Structure 1
Amino acid sequence: MHHSAHAREGRQNQLYDNGSRLVAGCVPIDKHGRRVLLVESTKNDGEWVLPKGGWENDETQEEAAARETWEEAGAIGKIVANLGEYAHKMDKRTGVPESVFIFFEMEVERVEERWPEMKKRGRRWFSYEEAKTIVSKKVMRKALEQCSLARR
């Protein structure tokens, strides 16, 4: 499976909120096992994604990312890096993306047996290499490529 690595970049440092939905999420890693925790998409059956969700501005982006990672994956840990901002689904006419994703790296300290969305979706550890192959959304693949596991 070969995807072009040359998506147009250079705009991911702007924070858009003029009509774009702001989404915060995590790349939850087990740095000792070189693994990434992914969750099942609730929209597309059989699709594995990074935990993420809408950022409400009564919390910091880090808080939103950590909260979504807890709600969707039951993982608790510390945010160790900002992996950048990524425009998703550009509107050709206006040049405004449908959403802007901001991802953080989280070193997972523990994974709870019970978590808010356990009935809605599964979670699973994948090796870093597997995670990069299995995640189909380009913005998520780019975030994975920025995390510390990418630097061997």
Structure 2
Amino acid sequence: MTNTMKRAWAEFVQPILRRPPELQVAALCYRVTPTAEKQVLLITSRGTGRWIVPKGWPMDGKKAAEAALQEAWEEAGVTDCATIEGHVGSYAYDKHLDDGYDAPVEVEVFKVRVKQLADIYPEHDQRTRRWVSPADAAEMVQEPGLKAILLEM
């Protein structure tokens, strides 16, 4: 009887209770060095200090790519002379919420060519940023879907 209840819980009840994923937007910021090497910009998360790309929630009055660019400014200092080059994919992760629960999140990723970074920006004292090769970035991030996008750069 116990195995039957466990199976019913796992296959029927849990899927019904699971929330649909929330949507976030992200900026995959990159530059091309004078030696024609492509580099991507990673930042640290505020909570755990893990390496991520700038991302956040959609914003009223902004298209998804515009919201991603706004997040790139606030979290990494990407100036408004950057160029949005389009949607490059999506990945999923579980976001740990302040109430102690994890929420599934689907992140839509937009490629952004960076021309300049500001020294002072809204979260400059809360994050570290680093330019790295796409292969190195893929080793640094935790989310498998983001790793795959980085390796396709």
- TM-score, structure 1 length as denominator? 0.73
Show the counterpart of 1:25.
26
SS at match of 1:111: coil
Q: Unmatched 5+ residue regions in structure 2?
A: 1-18, 95-102
**Is 1:116 aligned to residue 117 of structure 2?**
no
Off by >4 Å, runs of 4+ in structure 1: none
SS at match of 2:26: strand
Counting only pairs closer than 5 Å after superposition, residues 4-43 of structure 1 correspond to structure 2 as: 19-32=20-33, 33-43=37-47
- TM-score, structure 2 length as denominator? 0.72
Q: Unmatched 5+ residue regions in structure 1?
A: 1-17, 90-96, 148-152
Partners of 1:24 and 1:55 within 8 A in 2: yes
Instruction: Tell me the CA shift for residue 66 of structure 1.
Output: 0.2
Q: 1:81 aligns with which of 59, 79, 86?
A: 86
Partners of 2:32 and 2:39 within 8 A in 1: yes
Partners of 1:27 and 1:143 within 8 A in 2: no
Aligned length: 122
Q: Which moved more, 1:100-109 or 1:77-86?
A: 77-86
**Is 1:61 aligned to residue 67 of structure 2?**
no
Partners of 1:83 and 1:146 within 8 A in 2: no
Larger Rg: 2
Show the counterpart of 1:103.
109
Q: CA RMSD in A?
A: 1.8
**In 2, Cα distance between equivalents of 1:81 and 1:109:** 16
Cα deviations by residue, 1:27-71 (Å, 9 ceiling, x for unpaired): 1001233111110111213x1111101112431001110000010
- Pair 69,105 (structure 1): closer, same or farther in 2 beyond 3 Å: same
**Is 1:70 aligned to residue 76 of structure 2?**
no
Show the counterpart of 1:135.
141
Structure with higher helix content: 2
Instruction: Tell me the CA shift for residue 100 of structure 1.
Output: 1.1
**In 2, Cα distance between equivalents of 1:140 and 1:55:** 19
**In 2, Cα distance between equivalents of 1:101 and 1:71:** 18
SS at match of 1:109: coil
